[in-house]
Amino acid sequence: MGGLHNETFWFRDENQFRLLEEKLYAELLSNNATVNIWSAASSAGQEPYSISLSVDSFLNSIQEDVFFRITATDISSKMIARAKRGVFTDFELERGLPSPLKDEHFTSVKEGWLISARHRARVSYSTLNLMDDFKRLGCFDIIFCRNVLMYFSTATKLDILNRLQAALKPGGYLFLSNTERLPSDAQGFEVLQDMGTKYYRKI
């Protein structure tokens, strides 16, 4: 696990966020009052905060009072501490964040740019090694586990995927990165494709 790195962008695999905003959030809310989302390798916070920004965009489009809860975990306590602070440099914001979102959701501070309190409150952070038990986190409607499974052996990868499947609610969705594919011997997922991205539904 020493080879893990923290390369990250805002709205990485942008079509996945478009799919959520235009289709999946509404679908999940048709059966639930709350949508629970887990970012399983959150690094410095760009992924969970991108999710939160996409939630805001969706909520603005429907003008309804519904609730989203985002759980974010990472193996690095240093990265978790950074993510909780919610402060990013100009260079970090330039990596994928549209300028209008910077103007609307970030405030200039001495160290860089602070994401608004609403987004910091929406995301709950904790350290977690995916090789350890994560039942304590509960169950989720959506899990992002992107650009991390490649660092594990095949056997460990399948074990993690089995436990991710168990952590999804019935009909919940797993997102890998656009460059990753679910192993052929992974069980309990239906492979779907829409808006130029593959994603996986619990069956």
Domains of the chain: residue spans and CATH? 14-202 (3.40.50.150)
**Three-class SS of residue 105?**
helix
Of 50, 39, 41, the residue nearest 9 (C-alpha):
50
- The 10s digit of each residue's pLDDT in 5-19 is 556 899 999 999 999
In angstroms, rounded to a whole number, what is the distance separating the alpha carbons of residues 116 and 87?
10
**Could you give phi then psi for residue 23, rounded to 5 degrees?**
-140, -55
Residues in the chain: 203
pLDDT at 65: 73
Say which residues have a Cβ less than 8 Å from residue 153's Cβ, sequence separation at least 6.
none
Q: Report residue 66's pLDDT band, with 50, 70 and 90 as the boundaries.
A: confident
Residue 12 near residue 146, CB atoms below 8 Å: yes
Q: Is the pLDDT of residue 40 over 90?
A: yes
Q: How far is CA 2 from each of CA 96, 122, 131, 186, rounded to the nearest angstrom?
A: 27, 30, 14, 25
**CB atoms inside a 10 Å sphere around CB 3:** 6
Q: What is the pTM of this model?
A: 0.95
Share of the chain above pLDDT 70, in %: 97
Spatial strand order of the sheet with 34-39 comes to 123-127, 67-74, 34-39, 140-144, 168-175, 197-202, 189-194
pLDDT at 6: 59
Say which residues have a Cβ less than 8 Å from residue 86's Cβ, sequence separation at least 6.
45, 49, 114, 115, 119, 120
Mean pLDDT of 10-34: 96
**CB atoms inside a 10 Å sphere around CB 176:** 23
In angstroms, rounded to a whole number, what is the distance separating the alpha carbons of residues 51 and 174?
14
- The 10s digit of each residue's pLDDT in 103-155 is 999 999 999 999 999 999 999 999 999 999 999 999 999 999 999 999 999 99
